[in-house]
Amino acid sequence: MTILKVANRYFEFDEFSGFVESTTAGHFDSSYVSNGLACFTSGADVAQAGQLVLLTPGTDATQWFHFRLYCTDGGTDGSSNTTWLQLVNSSNQAVAELCKNGNVSDATFLRVKGTSDVNSAGMQTWVVSTAYLVDIKCTVSGSTTTVEVYVNGSLVMSATNTANGGRGIPNRLVCRGGNIGYQNLNRANYSEFIIANTSTIGMRLDELQVNSAGFHSDMSGTLTDLNTAAPTTGLLSTGAGQRTSWNPVAYAGSGGIVAVVASGRAHRKSGTPSKLAHFLRLGSTDYDGADQTIGESTVWQKVWETNPATSVAWAGADLSGIQVGLKSAA
């Protein structure tokens, strides 16, 4: 089991345009995360208004893509079969896509790409002001691509293309702003993205933001600025070997933790340090992730699928007293 990537804040996406972080009720589940991602354009051009892009390692024959979707009414649109979600390969070819059904009100169908495209027999009908948990399974085996789409845990559509034209494994998820149903246009509001090589059905993304200062304090800046995700504020490291840690907000769950993920975006102009690493502090011991070379703007994550202090699966009690941090390297 491997969690490949998670995202909910705008800075965690490899591309982010035409969306804003929204705290409007319904756009997200406040018991898990602090915001949703809402397309800010209305009217018939909402589908092309922008996109969210998440890159994946692109090496797993089977990948799962999870997100929470909340539909709002963006107006009426009569255009047909507009694509609003794609799985795309490293050659920028669509492997599979979700399309608005131009013949059925507020419905989506699945298309698996290849020498000739294959459409799903089934479809999903969306209801305005309703939340859905969506899980997409994509399996590529040679010339065959099979995609299954689950909504709220139930399989709603699938398709297999036995002549995929050599499109291979997708390495990115692309989500657009809307047009998921032609009658009410159904503007899309996304949150809780999880990409894995195992089933994501039943998973949720629980965001634990910065709460207070921790044991290490070598870097300058205001810790709580990390919660705003503003590109001009946060922590500043001026040399290698610096560490800063913080206490996250308390975990409200009781267990069932698949992984703990530290996520961030950093910017570097020149000189040292040139690398950063996420770390966890459990008790009096720091457990470091790998050093990441930082460019002009770099997004990176560290996934701990087991407790590094015990090497066994996480328990809810393990997060009591845990600290999260960053360390710098030359």
Which pLDDT belongs to residue 80?
Answer: 62
Confidence (pLDDT) at 155: 98
Phi, psi of 161 (to 5 degrees): -115, 115
Q: What is the reported pLDDT for 20?
A: 87
Domains of the chain, start order: 3-196 (2.60.120.200), 210-329 (2.60.120)
CB 72 within 8 A of CB 42: no
Mark 268-300 as b/e (b = at least 16 C-beta within 10 Å).
beeeebbbbbbbbbbeeebeebebbebeeeebb
pLDDT in the model for residue 230:
74
Supply the pLDDT for residue 77.
56
Q: What is the pLDDT of residue 45?
A: 46
DSSP state at residue 225:
H
pLDDT given for residue 47 in this prediction: 46
- Angstrom CA distances, 69 to 3, 104, 162, 323, 324, stand at 20, 20, 30, 31, 29
Per-residue model confidence (pLDDT) at position 176: 85
- pLDDT value at position 74? 59
- Name residue 227's beta-bridge partners: none
CA distance 210 to 325: 10
224 exposure class (CB count in 10 Å sphere: 0-12, 13-18, 19+): middle
| Residue range 165-181, pLDDT digits in tens | 999 999 999 998 766 76
Sites in the chain below the pLDDT cut of 70: 1, 40-49, 74-81, 103, 178-179, 181-186
Q: What is the residue whose two structure tokens read 């600290």?
A: 323
